Amino acid sequence: MKYISTRGNAPELTFEEAMLTGLARDGGLYVPQTIPTMSPDEIAALAGLPYEEAAFRVMKPFIGECFTDEEFKGIIARAYEGFRHDARAPLVQLGANHFLMELFHGPTLAFKDFAMQLIGQLFQFSLARRGERVTIVGATSGDTGSAAIEAFRGLDNVDVFILFPHGRVSDIQRKQMTTPEDANVHALALDGDFDDCQARLKDMFNDFDFRDGVRLAGVNSINWARVLAQVVYYFTTAASLGAPHRKVSFTVPTGNFGDIFAGYIAKKMGLPIDRLVIATNQNDILHRTMETSAYTKEGVVASISPSMDIQVSSNFERALFFAYDRDGNAVGQLMDELSSGAFTVSQGAMQTLREDFSSGRASEAETLATIQWAFAHCEEVLCPHSAVGVKVANEHLGETPMITLATAHPAKFPDAVEQAMGARPALPPHMADMMDKPERVTRVPNDLAHLTTLIKDRITSR
């Protein structure tokens, strides 16, 4: 199994190399050269399996020869042992034909743990056997950073630097990033928004001297291994609701398009998914693109669902790659145009996208109203991101069972939940003391040279 860049101009890599590399050297994102498929019998056989066993079967064909079966099973087992629900991704029912997949039972209470815990174990295993070390730099709107720090803290061969937008993450998200005491963890509060964080991260990857000098590795949702980890729960959930004999649809609270793109891969692998519904908050570039074909950057507006407050949706490039029939040059051209603010998706590509994806958006008021609605009608306390999903899903209900992804625990966003319901959701007991722990964080300007110097200094002084 080889991996190729969406811009068609970078070396082909194995799974392990693509994982350790992150962003391709031509600025593109790695995708599998061919997408393996699962037969209807193989899909049916997933029903009722432990999550780890299903994960092994779904991901194995993408790994190639990088790990033996025993090694890969061990990695998966260690990745999910810290989850606090035996089903890992349990389903609850919201209505006759509407289900909620709870993805927030991992160590940092957001779905990012599914991918990040796996990637932590994969890195640990690979770096140890190669005798190498890496510097991980991540940009986060909140949940990626805490999940990455939790997954990599204390590991021998890794320094982890996380850039988050100063003042724009929730108190709990910030505490999760700033309270770990491990010397290899570096939380950086950047003066800017999430897109600035993401842009500086891309700059670092495009600065080849720096990139090679510190052996830079990325764990943002551009990392293929993260997308792959998220493919699994589409399969387990669909199988538990009767796939492959029954089709299902998914609604996904979307920011960087990583989670919903995993659903698209699941569909390409043969899982009978009817619609993949993109749910955005008021930062609705993807919804606007689906409606108008024009992918136009606008300023980011801070919302009560901050993990979706972005305007450049990195993984959308992967969907474009397939919509443009794997034409790396065409994708590269669109991305060049984007640097001046916008591009228009061709009619043919748009048609291809619309075959799989629908979209909708939720305003701030609609998000709050949906938190109230879910509690009144289903006794379910939603986080604001999940509420965006439920609002949009409710507009797309039909004969096919709809599964909305609940992407974070409500206690991670207590202000929004309190605003909607008048009561603050409690943190799970094992986290109750986090808010009192001392913080370690460095405030940094939105400046590439400053950041690269700081990172080099930190890793040489350790």
DSSP secondary structure letter of residue 410: G
Distances (CA, A) of 330 to 296, 322, 339, 348: 17, 11, 15, 13
Q: Hey, which bits of 301-448 come out as E strands?
A: 342-344, 357-361, 402-406, 442-444
Residue 209 makes CB contacts below 8 A (sequence gap 6+) with none
- In the bound state with ligand PLP, the residue whose beta carbon lies nearer, of 318 and 396, is 318
What minimum distance in Å lies between the beta carbon of 411 and ligand PLP?
Answer: 12
Distance of alpha carbon 256 from its chain centroid, rounded? 7
- In the bound state with ligand PLP, the residue whose beta carbon lies nearer, of 424 and 450, is 424
How far apart are alpha carbons 304 and 365 in whole angstroms? 10
Closest listed residue to residue 50, CA positions, set 91, 107, 89: 89
Q: Which of 73, 112, 268, 297 is catalytic?
A: 112
> Which residues make up the interface to ligand PLP (CB under 6 A)?
110, 112, 143, 221, 253-259, 307-308, 385, 407-408
The residue type at 360? G
What minimum distance in Å lies between the beta carbon of 79 and ligand PLP?
Answer: 18
Q: Cα(first)–Cα(last) distance of the chain, in Å?
A: 37
- In the bound state with ligand PLP, the residue whose beta carbon lies nearer, of 43 and 139, is 139
Residue 41 makes CB contacts below 8 A (sequence gap 6+) with none
- In the bound state with ligand PLP, the residue whose beta carbon lies nearer, of 210 and 250, is 250
Q: What tokens appear for 151 in the block?
A: 């997954």
Number of helices (H), then strands (E), belonging to the chain: the values are: 19, 15
- In the bound state with ligand PLP, the residue whose beta carbon lies nearer, of 267 and 458, is 267
Using alpha carbons only, give the angle 282, 108, 357 rounded to the nearest 5 degrees.
40
What minimum distance in Å lies between the beta carbon of 271 and ligand PLP?
Answer: 18
Beta strands 98-102 and 91-95 are antiparallel
DSSP secondary structure letter of residue 308: G
2 is catalytic: no
- In the bound state with ligand PLP, the residue whose beta carbon lies nearer, of 43 and 416, is 416
The residue type at 435? M
What minimum distance in Å lies between the beta carbon of 377 and ligand PLP?
Answer: 22
What minimum distance in Å lies between the beta carbon of 93 and ligand PLP?
Answer: 21
What minimum distance in Å lies between the beta carbon of 9 and ligand PLP?
Answer: 25
Question: Mind telling me the catalytic residues?
Answer: 112
